[in-house]
Structure 1
Amino acid sequence: MPPVSQPYARNTLLGPLRRAARVTFAAATVMAALAASAASATAGPAEERQGAGDREAVRYVALGDSFSSGPGIPEQTDVTCGRSARNYPSLIAAELGAVSFTDATCAGADTSHMTNPQETVPPQLDALEPDTTLVTLGIGGNDLDLTGILTRCVVLGQLAPYGAPCKTSYTLLGTDEIGSRIASTAPGVASVLAQIHDRSPQARVLVVGYPAIFPDDGTACRATVPLATGDFPWIRDKQKQLNSMLAQQAEERQDVYVDAYTPSVGHDVCKPAGVRWIEPGDTAEAAGFHPNAAGHRSTADAALATLTR
């Protein structure tokens, strides 16, 4: 993975997790061949994608965090934001033959960075124009502090490999701290959507969910990620809760929710190289705990399919 500037190095989801991992375990990862990873994604019908592109001259702006920017996926076009030329926004723009395309996605972004600078990176909403016709928004994970959650879960998983110590730490005295964070993020997502429509009233807006990080059936893979066995299904459930919130916010604005989770089931971080779409550590394919090129291809296909409805 090429050198990165300080903002990206600090904000990448893997950074703190990997530092904790070095102390507590040696993560063994196998590099997947990019061609094999790409072959595992199911492409949508070419004629349907072409039909979507023929409907209008597409002026596309992509907004979002590292799950949208594609950190570590060759080729990186912006190391500060971990932006790849093979991320799902770039794939969508190419498939639709967009007459203009601005990729404003940036690793570490949360809802506040839609309207405020992210260090030296301008507010993402500044990329919008009155004639923008398509916007994708993939945001919310950093509002929950996914880095902190995963780091804590790894440390607790080393101390107590069975049960769900991480879940317990976030649900003391009957509270649901992560659920509360998801609920408190919803108004921020709603505000971002409202401002997108204010700035680009002609735009069709797609709210993009997050792909499956851990197995959907709740099974553990402690040899790959040393969480406690009971914390694998708990994190899965919190991710589904986040996606449900995003879907609800899209529905309330009459925008479109893109389900990136369902197509990615069976391609989580626990699967071997060539099958997984989420990398368990930094590899030649992507930054750790982020989608690789095949994962972005799947998300792009899910988004493109919504444009033909």
Structure 2
Amino acid sequence: MRKTTKSPVVRRLAAAAVALGSCLALAGAAESAGAAPADPVPTVFFGDSYTANFGVAPFNQDGKRDFCFQAKENYPAVATRRLADKGITLDVQSDVSCGGALVNHFWQEQELLPGTGMTVPPQQDALKADTQLAVGSIGGNTLGFNRILKQCSDKLRSPSLLPGEPVDGDEPAAKCAEFFESGDGKQWLDGQFEQVGWELEELLDRIGYFAPDAKRVLVGYPRLVPGDTTKCLTAAPGQTELPFADIPEDALPVLDQVQKRLNDVMKKAAADAEGGADFVDLYARTGTNTACDGADRGIGGLLEDSQVSLGDYKLPWYAHPNAKGRDIQAEQVTETVEQILNR
């Protein structure tokens, strides 16, 4: 797989901008240490369906971004209110999170529905020279997590469920654990992780270039599969489908390993960013709120009805945060942003 091309100019300018911002921050540290910012903090939220909180109703409908399925009460909105309660005001310049976004949609336009010509601009266009905070979750779609789920489920291979194709449709879903642990499946997965790492580096560089003073916060994904996978063999209260539908139990630890590896790639990208970026480790903090934790679940089951309908059809959660999970995301983001802005 070919590495994403990165502009040397972008890298040099980003490094210089971050260095300048650090010097300015040090100059004012004596009078601002430990104090919340007095003025509203210009902020941009970016990301995919986990930032948009697909499945939480109602979603924003403005005619241009309808099919981003961005919840009006997504974690950026909830975290913004929680921060205001703590005396920290965010001036939200834009929330450009959009369901289905790949990492490269940060700098390329995103087609919303294939064949319709409906697109949204690159997410980086929302950044301004005075943006001081950029927060979002992204990377799962570039990894191809929906393709991984389809590889492991006969039900999800139905053309009417979940966009995309399995990694290898000739391989039976029942053998997906073996597929991803050796041979072509493992090689494919290794390549996807490399691509995610390269592109997250590019994304963070671009934030540093277009918004030199912005604190960058990469938000990880909540844990989907518990350590005890036997909990996934029981339907949640009021449900008939298992949390992971027909995905074999022996594949669930593999899904968890994939998610943990993605978490580590995101954490490393934040740590390695020029000038540093912050990472919200949701995976480490949501082990008791997985899709298999019954009434305590923060993740809607794969085929569990979400709150969103298209006509008479209820869209499934497809393993996205429900309202409880959204609140957990907001809580952790609030805590991290408060710490960053009070440094």
TM-score (norm 2): 0.69
Higher mean alpha-carbon deviation, 204-213 vs 275-284, is at 275-284
Q: Which residue of 2 aligns with 1:167?
A: 177
Q: Which residue of 2 aligns with 1:70?
A: 53
Higher relative contact order (CA 8 A, sep 6+): 1
User: Structure 2 vs 1, CA of residues 303 and 224 (structure 1 numbering), >3 Å: closer, same or farther?
Assistant: closer
CA contact (8 A) 1:52 1:308 kept: no
Q: Which residue of 1 aligns with 2:226?
A: 215
CA contact (8 A) 2:49 2:100 kept: yes
Distance 1:82 1:227 in 2: 26
User: Structure 2 vs 1, CA of residues 145 and 173 (structure 1 numbering), >3 Å: closer, same or farther?
Assistant: closer
Q: Which of residues 209, 212, 216 is equivalent to 1:205?
A: 216
Distance 1:53 1:93 in 2: 14
Deviating runs (4+, > 6 A) in structure 1? 156-160
Distance 1:65 1:179 in 2: 22
**Paired residue secondary structure (1:62):** strand
Q: Which residue of 2 aligns with 1:91?
A: 78
CA drift of 1:93 comes to 2.2
Distance 1:71 1:143 in 2: 17
Higher mean alpha-carbon deviation, 61-70 vs 256-265, is at 256-265
CA drift of 1:302 comes to 1.0
Number of equivalenced pairs: 255
Whose Rg is larger? 2
1:23-34 residue pairs with structure 2 within 5 A? none
CA drift of 1:56 comes to 4.3
RMSD value over aligned CA atoms? 2.4
Q: Deviations over 1:187-222 (max 9, x none)?
A: 100001000010011111110000011113344624
Q: Deviations over 1:97-128 (max 9, x none)?
A: 32234110000000111111112111111001
Distance 2:105 2:284 in 1: 28
Q: Which residue of 2 aligns with 1:48?
A: none
Amino acid at match of 1:283: D
Q: Which residue of 1 aligns with 2:293?
A: 271
Q: Which residue of 1 aligns with 2:278?
A: 256
Q: Which residue of 1 aligns with 2:260?
A: 240
**Paired residue secondary structure (1:63):** strand
Percent identity among equivalent residues?
A: 28
CA contact (8 A) 2:149 2:156 kept: no
Distance 1:288 1:157 in 2: 10
Distance 2:72 2:35 in 1: 21
Amino acid at match of 1:61: V
Distance 2:74 2:219 in 1: 13
Long gaps (5+) in structure 2:
1-33, 84-88, 112-118, 158-171, 234-241, 309-316
